[in-house]
Structure 1
C-alpha cells in the first residue's frame, strides 16, 4: 500500500505596529533565518488559537487575531514537506516581559517592508509574499474559518 501524502498544517501571524512587521529570528537547519511568528497547528487546536499561541511562544507578544490574509502552500526543498499555511492578521496587545521563547528562537524583531525585501535570510518565499500581500490585498474576516469540533 502506498503511503498517503500528508501536508503539514501551519499558521503564521502578520502583526504590524508603526509600519513595522513583527518577525522572529530563529535557527533553521543550522542557519539564522527570519520568519513571521509561525508554527504547526496542534491536534485539537483551532486555527486562531494556534496563531495566537505561536506568536506568544515565539515573540513574547500577546496578540488578538483580527482577520485572515490568505492560505499559502510551499514545498520546502530541504525536506520535501509541503506546508499549508493559514496566514492571519493580528493586533499587538502587549509584550510579556522576560517571556520564555520556544527552543531555537533567537528573538523577536521589528522590520520594515523595505528591510524584508532586502533580506537574504528569509525562512521561505512565503515570508515576503505574506508581508507584500498584507500591504496590497484585501483582508478577510475570521469567520471564513469554519471549524467543527
Structure 2
C-alpha cells in the first residue's frame, strides 16, 4: 500500500476575541473546524486558503501570516494530513453566497465557547491552532515559496 499524506490548509480569522469557524456534518455528527480543505491541482497554498475560506464561510479575507505547519494522523481512518494554518483578517462578507454542501453554517465563536464541548471539534487541531495563533509567533507569508 502506498502512503500519501494529504495537504490541507486552514485559516484562523479573529475579530474582537471571536473566531470564524464552520459547523460541518461529518460521520453523522455536527462538528466545528476552521475554514479548511485540500490543496487542489495548480493552486498555491495561499490561493487554497483564500478559496476554502470563501467557499466555506462566504467571507473574503486577507492572509496576514502563518500560524504553523502541522502533521496529523486521524485516529478515525489513519489518514495523515499536513495542515498549513494561516491567520487572516475578515474583509467582506457575502451573505447571499451558498456555502459548500457539507457546511451547515459559518459561526463566530469565542475560544471558551469552542472549548466548552470537545466532542464537537473536528480534531484536536481546531483548538490547538487557535492557541498557537494566540500565543504566537505569527510567521511571515514569505515563508511560503511557490
The 4+ residue runs of structure 1 with deviation greater than 3 A are: none
Tell me the residue number matched to 1:85. Answer: 83
Q: Secondary structure at the match of 1:70?
A: strand
Write the distance in 2 (CA, Å) between the matches of 1:36 and 1:119: 15
TM-score between the two structures when normalised by the length of structure 1: 0.95
Q: 1:102 aligns with which of 100, 104, 111?
A: 100
- Aligned residue pairs total 145
Residue number among 33, 37, 40 corresponding to 2:31 in the alignment: 33
- Report the TM-score when normalising by structure 2: 0.96
| Partners of 2:115 and 2:103 in 1: CA distance | 22
- How far, CA to CA, are the matches of 1:13 and 1:67 in structure 2? 10
Consecutive unaligned residues of structure 2, counting only runs of 5 or more, are: none
Task: Give the C-alpha shift of residue 109 in structure 1.
Answer: 0.4
Looking at structure 1, the residues matched to 102 and 41 of structure 2 have their Cα atoms a distance apart, in angstroms, of: 22
Which 5+ residue runs of structure 1 have no aligned equivalent? Answer: none
RMSD of equivalent CA atoms: 0.8
Aligned to 1:141: 140
Which residue does 1:111 correspond to in 2? 109
Q: Distance in 2 between matches of 1:137 and 1:116?
A: 19
Structure 2 partner of 1:17: 15
Residues 10-44 of structure 1 deviation map (CA, whole Å, 9 limit, x = unaligned): 00000001110000000111110000000000011
TM-superposition CA deviations, 1:25-75 (whole Å, max 9, x none): 001111100000000000110001000100000001011111001001111
